[in-house]
Each structure stands twice: as structure tokens, then as C-alpha cells.
């Protein structure tokens, strides 16, 4: 449940679509945009995977309501972020058409929307499942809104490294929905997303650094330079790929997961090295569209796009293995 408004934040990148209408009054699409639907999709997906991968299940209707609560909580955090960051969003090409900077949704209204939905989602989660899941949901919303959006984002180039925790909570919440607790496997799923966030977000920041510079957001390429960012992408990629081995070691990930982590991880590493060797981000750039880049920045754009696919692939593998009964662990296969 993290942002990418200035930071392609923890939890996936998101961009604003064109205004819903030429009118200055808000339409329902503006409220949907306020919830950052792209980020929400990844949050729901990883939360669902965490729930399905857990060793026990609850009533399917309650599980569906819990996933809805995760989605609403993520939307609430996104709306808060858009309200708080409307000043810098207005300065960046990628975000200037969002509902709050364009004035279609007043800032106070966005705050109220976020507050009501936050309360509703946590309340619903607590009633439908258990207080561990509700507590984790509440903490993830708090972390995203206060720790990341209000504090880290504008103050340190480590913003998305630490803030990445907010986007890493959903699978842990999904796990807690089923089990009422947090286990090693849940922590590993958290670590995977947490360590995935820096290479993912910095890849975007490399080819959108002009935007961040204009808004004075200290993203790594702006604060430490493109070369340092490219090097750190490689370091965090290594840590991320190491974390993806975790589920194989604990038996949570079976053969399908192992193939996805191995083959997909090799491609991830290759793209990260390509970024390291490239000149991506050397010249500040800020095209309008999320995936639009100049020739020199293509490696960064490719890593950014692929990182989303790889994370989705890993969690899809867990979903298939545990949801469709296709889980065969390596020890079973060897034995």
C-alpha cells in the first residue's frame, strides 16, 4: 500500500490517468483514481496470495470481506497520500493531472475520504477476521501515511527503502487473516516485497528524475546521482533475489515457485546489471507517460516494467500451488 506518486513507491508504480471529465466537479472516476487503483491491484493480489498460502483457511465469505478490507485500506492510504502530496504532484508531469492537484477533488474532501475509509477497513477487518490482521492493517496504513508520506518521502533518499515496508504488509496481513498470527513464512513474504521495492522504484526514478528534481523530492538519483543509484539497484537486486529463495527453503514454495524464482530471478539480475552498465538517469528526464523514455533510459524502463511482472509471477506461483492444490515441494520431488 505504497505510493509511487513521487517515489514509485513501495508497492508498485502508479500514474494518473487523464482527467475523468473536463468539468471541475469530481466524478466517480476521480474517487477511484484517488485510491490509486494500480497500486491497489498489486496490494490485493499479494494479500490474497498470503492468505491462500497460509496453512489454514477461514470461511470463504469472511476471507473475501477481509480482502475487500485490505483493498479499501490501501485505497484510503493512497487517497491520504494524494491529498498530502498534492503540492508536489502539481509540479510533476506524471502526477499533475491527479484529482487533487487539478482541483476536481478538494484536499479536505480527500482527507475525509481517506479517514473514513481507513476506519471502515480496519473495523471491518477486525470484525470479520481477527485483531492481529486488523492491527497489521491499521499499522500499514499508519506507516504509509505518517512514516512514509509525511516524514520520509521529502526528507531522505532512503524514503522508499524504509517506506517499502508499507507495501510489504499485505501478504503478511493475508496470512494473519487465515492464521491469526505471523510466522516465519509471513515474514519471508514481507521481506520479498520489502527488498523488491528499491530496485523497482529506483528504476522508475532513474528515468523520471527530472520530475523528482522539479518537486525537490530527494529520490536517490536526485540526491546521490544516477551512477550511485544504478549500483544500489544491483545490490538490492541481489538481496531481493536471496529473499525469493526463502519460500523454497521453508517449503512454502514448491516446484512452480522455484522455477519462477530461479528463471525469473536470473532475468531480473540480467536486467539489473544492464541498468548498472547503462547511462540511465545521467540526464534528468521526465516524459509525460509512465513508460515513455529516451533511448539512454530504456534499460531502467525495462527493469521497472519487468520488476512488476516478476513479483506478480512469484505470488501467482504461490497462488497456483496452494490455491489449486498444485504444491509439490522440492523435498517431495527429490524424495
Residue 175 CB, nearest approach to other proteins (Å): 20
List, in sequence order, the alpha helices (H) in the chain.
Answer: 28-34, 37-53, 60-84, 86-89, 107-128, 131-142, 159-179, 184-207, 209-214, 220-223, 226-250, 255-277, 298-323, 330-334
Residue 28 CB, nearest approach to other proteins (Å): 7
What is the residue-wise DSSP string for 10-45? Answer: TT----PPSPS-SSSS--HHHHHHHT-HHHHHHHHH
CB 56 within 8 A of CB 179: yes
Would you tell me which residues interact with other proteins (CB under 8 A)? 23, 25-26, 28, 59, 61-62, 65, 68, 120, 124, 127-128
Q: Which residue number, 23 or 332, has a Cβ lying nearer to other proteins?
A: 23
**Dist CA 101 CA 97 (whole Å):** 7
CB 152 within 8 A of CB 159: yes
Q: Which residue number, 35 or 314, has a Cβ lying nearer to other proteins?
A: 35
Residue 197 CB, nearest approach to other proteins (Å): 31
Q: Which residue number, 1 or 66, has a Cβ lying nearer to other proteins?
A: 66
**Dist CA 325 CA 58 (whole Å):** 17
**Dist CA 120 CA 148 (whole Å):** 22
Q: Which residue number, 40 or 314, has a Cβ lying nearer to other proteins?
A: 40
Q: Which residue number, 174 or 218, has a Cβ lying nearer to other proteins?
A: 174
Q: Which residue number, 62 or 227, has a Cβ lying nearer to other proteins?
A: 62
Residue 128 CB, nearest approach to other proteins (Å): 5
Residue 46 CB, nearest approach to other proteins (Å): 23
What is the residue-wise DSSP string for 69-87? Answer: HHHHHHHHHHHHHHHHTHH
**Dist CA 18 CA 33 (whole Å):** 10
Residue 83 CB, nearest approach to other proteins (Å): 17
Q: Which residue number, 42 or 117, has a Cβ lying nearer to other proteins?
A: 117
Angle between helices 184-207 and 37-53 (to 10 degrees): 160
For the chain, report the end-to-end CA distance as a whole number of angstroms: 40
Residue 66 CB, nearest approach to other proteins (Å): 10
Closest Cα to residue 312, out of 264, 253, 248, 266? 264
Q: Which residue number, 130 or 209, has a Cβ lying nearer to other proteins?
A: 130
**Dist CA 315 CA 119 (whole Å):** 28
Amino acid at each position: 500500500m505504497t505510493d509511487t506518486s513521487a517515489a514509485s513507491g513501495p508497492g508498485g508504480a502508479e500514474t494518473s490517468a487523464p482527467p475523468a471529465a473536463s468539468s471541475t466537479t469530481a466524478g466517480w472516476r476521480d474517487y477511484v483514481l484517488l485510491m490509486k487503483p494500480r497500486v491497489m491491484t498489486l496490494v490485493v493480489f499479494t494479500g490474497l496470495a498470503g492468505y491462500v498460502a497460509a496453512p489454514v483457511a477461514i470461511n470463504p465469505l469472511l476471507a473475501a470481506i477481509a480482502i475487500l478490507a485490505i483493498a479499501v485500506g490501501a485505497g484510503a492510504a493512497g487517497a491520504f497520500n494524494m491529498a498530502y502530496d498534492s503540492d508536489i504532484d502539481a509540479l510533476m508531469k506524471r502526477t499533475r493531472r491527479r484529482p487533487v492537484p487539478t482541483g476536481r477533488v478538494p484536499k479536505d474532501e480527500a482527507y475525509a475520504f481517506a479517514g473514513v475509509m481507513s476506519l471502515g477497513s480496519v473495523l471491518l477487518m477486525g470484525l470479520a477476521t481477527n485483531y492481529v490482521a486488523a492491527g497489521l492493517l491499521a499499522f500499514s496504513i499508519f506507516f504509509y501515511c505518517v512514516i512514509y508520506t509525511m516524514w520520509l518521502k521529502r526528507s531522505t533518499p532512503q524514503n522508499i527503502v524504509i517506506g517499502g515496508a508499507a507495501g510489504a504488509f499485505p501478504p503478511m496481513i493475508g496470512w494473519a487473516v487465515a492464521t491469526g498470527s505471523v510466522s516465519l513464512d509471513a515474514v519471508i513474504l514481507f521481506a520479498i516485497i520489502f527488498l523488491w521495492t528499491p530496485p523497482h522504484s529506483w528504476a522508475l526514478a532513474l528515468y523520471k528524475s527530472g520530475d523528482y528534481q522539479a518537486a525537490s523530492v530527494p529520490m536517490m538519483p536526485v540526491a546521490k546521482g544516477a551512477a550511485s543509484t544504478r549500483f544500489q539497484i544491483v545490490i538490492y537486486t541481489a538481496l531481493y533475489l536471496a529473499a525469493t529463495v526463502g519460500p523454497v527453503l521453508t517449503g512454502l514454495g514448491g516446484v512452480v515457485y522455484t522455477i519462477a524464482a530461479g528463471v525469473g530471478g536470473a532475468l531480473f539480475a540480467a536486467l539489473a546489471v544492464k541498468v548498472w552498465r547503462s547511462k540511465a538517469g545521467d540526464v534528468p528526464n521526465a516524459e509525460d507517460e509512465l513508460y515513455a523514455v529516451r533511448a539512454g533510459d530504456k534499460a531502467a524502463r525495462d527493469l521497472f516494467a519487468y520488476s512488476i511482472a516478476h513479483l506478480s509471477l512469484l505470488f501467482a506461483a504461490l497462488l497456483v500451488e496452494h490455491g489449486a492444490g498444485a504444491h509439490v515441494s522440492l523435498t517431495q520431488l527429490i524424495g
